[in-house]
Structure 1
Amino acid sequence: MKRTVTSHDIARLAGVSQPTVSRVLTGNDRVNPETRSRVLAAARELKYRPNGNARAMRTSRTGNVGIVVSRLTNPLYPEMLEAIGQRLTAHSLRMVMWNTDEINEKLALDAVYESLVDGVIMTTATDASSRLYETLRLNTPVVLINRSVERWACDQVTSDNLKGGALVARHFVEAGRKRIGLLGGPTSASTIRERQTGFRLQLDSMGAALLPEHCISVETFSYQQGYAAAKELLTRTRQPPDSLFCVNDILAIGAIDAARSLDLSIPDDLWIVGYDDIEQASWEAFDLTTVRQPLDAMTEQTIEFLLDRMDGHDGPPRYQSLPNELIVRGSTSS
């Protein structure tokens, strides 16, 4: 019988003490990054699995899938969780959720470790989540949905945010908008980074200007930040934007109300486009033109990848990027 790999084996290969290995495998913060990387590399090389989890996963299924999420104040994520939950239920699986806005990633890691989940789906991953991802990956299959992290060796499902941003730029330019603006945000998230890049590249290719004074960024994605940023943008120059791309719908809804507070008419004085097509975007009060992500198709592909990994598929990482659609509503048409 093949001998079970232990934390002492990892310690010998990594050249560290066994307590250091234990701290790494339980997500303890008191380990320097270089040592953590060496321990995780040794664990992967030895194909280590924590004893309790490994035995349970080899002999039976728990029926639990962990979902790591944040930014639940953005309606996109509850919509995404509902779609994930419905598909997991169809496969007789239960969803266990950890919101990293409310608990730090160490606690999320402990919860996953102790709950013996069969797989993990991460919905809001960034490079900053690397410690959580690396440790989770020792225990269970991990699949990313929505955001991608290029250097992570796991299955990832996104929508084509680069082309989505380009759709908005083309919509503005082809309609003859001259003073085009951008309400952006932190580029740590792949979604935001790619939307802004696609928007800028398409404007450049069509010979359209995006002046610095017509661009502004927020630190967090909220209605309040969208409102404040749009109000500043629309009052900072004598010739403010006549069209504004907001990198998600929550910011766009805040921008619409900011424009109204300045007695600007939408769409006569200002066009506004959002991104995601959350439910509120279609409400009569906002009637927001936006880019719709194919949440159902993204969720279906994510669950397919995860089930495949849970069944033992050990092939190379798979990356799926699905097309988006521009939904034109009253915020950009008379």
Structure 2
Amino acid sequence: MSMLTGREIARLAGVSQATVSRVVQGSTRVSEENRRRVEEAMAKYGYVPNAQARAMRTQRSGTIGVIVGEFTNPWYPVMMYALAREINHADLRINFWVSDGGNSEQAAIEAIRSKQIDGLIFTTATRESPALRTALELGLPVVLVNRSLEEITSDQVVGDNTGGGASIATHFLTHGRTSVAVVGGGPWVSTGRERRQGFLDVFADAGIHIPPDRTPETKFSHQAGLDAGRLLLADDPPDAIFCATDIIAFGVIDAAKERGLRVPEDLWVAGYDDIPMSAWKVLDLTTVRQPIDEMAKLALRNLLTRIDNPKAEVEQKRFPTELVLRGSTGNTPM
């Protein structure tokens, strides 16, 4: 381990010791030039900050908490990896909890109350989430990722879910797919609700009404997609189905296979999230891609800003999304 101190790194970089501390803590209150000089000095001389000593000086734990959804939805490990990479890069520790309504979330609440974490990133949350309520009540810095809650004041980093849903609808309409269905997107989850509404609005603007029996609200799981697909495809099936997540779409594709329907010859299916499995040739799913790496980077940056300055201006950022065309909709261009 390097014997250099933060004071010596400051001297070598030509900055103050406070600037070195801010860089180590991941604070945004550092100019890009000073950050570059400090990072180059640390890399050149092999300086490794001592997390325990830093925590004693700053009265902080040096730990960021992250709450994720159940891993039955493969999107969560993808986002978890992106957040872990950013948190590790900031030389901070991570605690992950699964929001399952059970012991895991209770452990997160105990960590919040005992000040074991400096801030918390939620990748899944509703207004009733116990951990979110506890964090807000105790004034813990909080950032929501991939979730939007209008009724709370906090930093929120999301994709343009409404625009993403609309892009699928426009793709369907452009290619004459007007007998359609949309699966998922119950009112309890902002992402699904917004994706669903964006899709429905495009068809409404085109004067096409999608009946309620073709807009089932489901959880985000393969089984939910399978069950919904079986109902939708039983009699007078639609010619295209939009699913609020890729994992739902996989279930719908399996339901189509059970019925002897071919994708895309008999039925178009589109999802949302572009998880790695979506590109597998056996699935080849048209979907909507979110800039997960950029979302994770901004989420941590905003959280560290909030930790450093609790009164900092709240930022609610919506990233643009990208329509990814694959074989499940014939791989046809817009």
TM-score (normalizing by structure 1): 0.78
How do residues 179-328 of structure 1 correspond to structure 2 at under 5 angstroms?
Answer: 179-218=179-218, 220-235=219-234, 237=235, 239-328=236-325
Give the Å deviation of 1:70: 2.0
One-letter amino acid of the counterpart of residue 272, structure 1:
V
CA distance in 1, matches of 2:192, 2:202: 16
Quote the residue 1:63 is aligned against.
Answer: 62
Quote the residue 1:96 is aligned against.
Answer: 95
Quote the residue 2:153 is aligned against.
Answer: 153
Q: Which runs of 5+ in 2 are unaligned?
A: 1-54
CA distance in 1, matches of 2:293, 2:79: 8
Q: Which runs of 5+ in 1 are unaligned?
A: 1-55
TM-score (normalizing by structure 2): 0.78
CA deviation profile, 1:262-281 (whole Å, cap 9, x unmatched): 11111110000001111111
Quote the residue 1:133 is aligned against.
Answer: 132
The number of residues matched between the two structures is: 275
Alignment check: 8 A CA contact 1:144 1:154 kept: yes
Quote the residue 2:174 is aligned against.
Answer: 174
One-letter amino acid of the counterpart of residue 74, structure 1:
N
CA distance in 2, matches of 1:156, 1:213: 33
Give the Å deviation of 1:58: 8.3
Alignment check: 8 A CA contact 1:100 1:108 kept: no
CA distance in 2, matches of 1:143, 1:57: 25
CA distance in 1, matches of 2:158, 2:279: 23
Alignment check: 8 A CA contact 1:57 1:118 kept: no
Alignment check: 8 A CA contact 2:185 2:194 kept: no
**Aligned residues with identical type, % of pairs:** 42
- The farther-off stretch of 322-331 and 178-187 is 178-187
Alignment check: 8 A CA contact 1:164 1:291 kept: yes
One-letter amino acid of the counterpart of residue 152, structure 2:
W
What secondary structure sits across from 1:310 in the alignment? helix
- Aligned residues: CA RMSD: 1.8
Give the Å deviation of 1:92: 0.1
Alignment check: 8 A CA contact 2:185 2:195 kept: no
Quote the residue 1:4 is aligned against.
Answer: none
CA distance in 1, matches of 2:93, 2:259: 48
